[in-house]
């Protein structure tokens, strides 16, 4: 069967019939969902298989199931249909003229620092659609279908544009009821358990060495996967945590946490904004980068 659309692509109606039939598990179910007759759905699937030169569905009494080749093709078809639907909705909503960015951010930085500021961005740039997800650890932009990410890392991967958003500066804090104000850090670390962050397990040993405090087992203590989990552990009185100002600042000001030293531990890693080089020059990306630079400069001045 030759393509009638000038490209080596099957008809969209055939792809929709195939996806719907595979999802519902029957031609009858697909016909009901698509408001077509069963024969019309069967014809569209037959046309698709003829175009591809391969069987996509195994037909059994009362049910159908994708063949191995159909399973693989179905993954791509669903992705393509989803992208087409999303692009259509953008045009209908009036956002397509401004562009769209798919962005990943670390959970704690995103929830506490970035998202409240992004409300301002949304008001200032209403025609740019930001789709935000959260990730823990390194992010492969291409495989994840992302345009950009903010990552906590030692530096950007090759062939990517990057800018340093902010360093990770950690301060020792604990629940206020655990220690009186003015308690020396050297005393506190010998009384309270140390709370560690999985992303910065070197922090306590390095900080103690930096401050000249000797402790027999600086790696001992509970470990937490998120900064916000470390915050809750500290607030709950579980021990002494190293947390950044953007995470613990409000609780310190409110008197729920006590900072035991104004000397920070500065991680060798930092928060970097990273995007693919081929995405850097899009108007939406340029606008977001300029805005992020303003937010970064404001945060680093404090």
Q: Is the pLDDT of residue 93 over 80?
A: no
Q: Lowest mean pLDDT: which of 56-65, 86-95, 109-118?
A: 86-95
DSSP state of 262: S
Full set of structural domains in the chain with CATH: 12-93 (1.10.10.10), 100-164+269-300 (3.40.190.10), 167-268 (3.40.190.10)
d(CA 266, CA 256) in angstroms, rounded, equals 24
Q: At 286, phi and psi to the nearest 5? A: -60, -40
Rounded to 10 deg, the angle between the 115-124 and 283-301 helix axes is 130
Q: Are strands 160-175 and 257-259 parallel, antiparallel or unpaired?
A: antiparallel
Q: Residue 3: pLDDT band by 50, 70, 90 thresholds?
A: low
- What is the C-alpha radius of gyration for the chain, rounded to an integer number of angstroms? 27
Compute the mean pLDDT over every residue in the chain, rounded to the nearest whole number.
88
Handedness of CA 55, 60, 62, 66 (dihedral sign): negative
Query: Rounded mean pLDDT of 269-276?
Result: 92
Within 10 angstroms of residue 230's Cβ, the number of other Cβ atoms is 28
The token pair at 239 is 């021990």
Whose CA is closest to 15, among 76, 106, 102? 76
Burial of 39 (C-beta count, 10 Å sphere; 0-12/13-18/19+):
exposed
The token pair at 176 is 């206020």
Whose CA is closest to 149, among 300, 272, 270, 269? 272
The better pLDDT of the pair 299, 261 is held by 261
d(CA 144, CA 131) in angstroms, rounded, equals 13
Task: Summarize pLDDT for 166-217 with one digit per residue, the tens.
Answer: 999 999 999 999 999 999 999 999 999 999 999 899 999 999 999 999 999 9
Q: Is the pLDDT of residue 256 over 70?
A: yes
DSSP string, 98-159: T-EEEEEE-HHIIIIIIHHHHHHHHHH-TTSEEEEEE-SS---HHHHT-SEEEEEESSPPTT
- What's the predicted TM-score (pTM) here? 0.66
């Amino acid at each position: 069967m030759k393509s009638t659309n000038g490209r080596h692509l099957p008809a969209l109606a055939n792809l929709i019939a195939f996806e719907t039939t595979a999802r519902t598990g029957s031609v009858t179910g697909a016909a009901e969902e698509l408001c077509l007759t069963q024969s019309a759905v069967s014809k569209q699937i037959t046309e698709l298989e003829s175009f591809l030169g391969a069987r996509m569905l195994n037909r059994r009494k009362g049910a159908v199931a994708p063949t191995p080749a159909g399973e693989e093709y179905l993954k791509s078809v669903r992705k393509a249909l989803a992208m087409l639907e999303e692009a259509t909705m953008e045009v209908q909503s009036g956002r397509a003229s401004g562009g769209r960015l798919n962005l990943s951010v670390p959970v704690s930085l995103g929830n506490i620092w970035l998202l409240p500021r992004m409300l301002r961005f949304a008001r200032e740039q209403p025609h740019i659609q930001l789709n935000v997800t959260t990730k823990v650890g390194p992010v492969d932009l291409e495989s994840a279908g992302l345009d950009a990410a903010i990552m906590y890392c030692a530096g950007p991967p090759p062939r990517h544009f990057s800018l340093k958003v902010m360093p990770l500066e950690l301060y020792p804090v604990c629940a206020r009821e655990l220690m009186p104000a003015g308690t020396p850090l050297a005393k506190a670390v010998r009384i309270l358990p140390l709370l560690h962050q999985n992303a910065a397990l070197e922090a306590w040993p390095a900080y103690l060495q930096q401050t000249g405090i000797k402790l027999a087992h600086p790696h001992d203590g509970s470990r937490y996967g998120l900064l916000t989990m470390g915050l809750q552990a500290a607030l709950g009185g579980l021990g002494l945590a190293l947390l950044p100002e953007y995470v613990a600042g409000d609780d310190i000001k409110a008197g729920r946490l006590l900072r035991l030293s104004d000397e920070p531990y500065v991680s060798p890693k930092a928060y970097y904004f990273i995007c693919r080089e081929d995405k850097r020059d899009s108007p939406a990306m340029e606008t977001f980068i300029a805005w992020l630079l303003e937010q970064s400069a404001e945060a680093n001045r404090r």
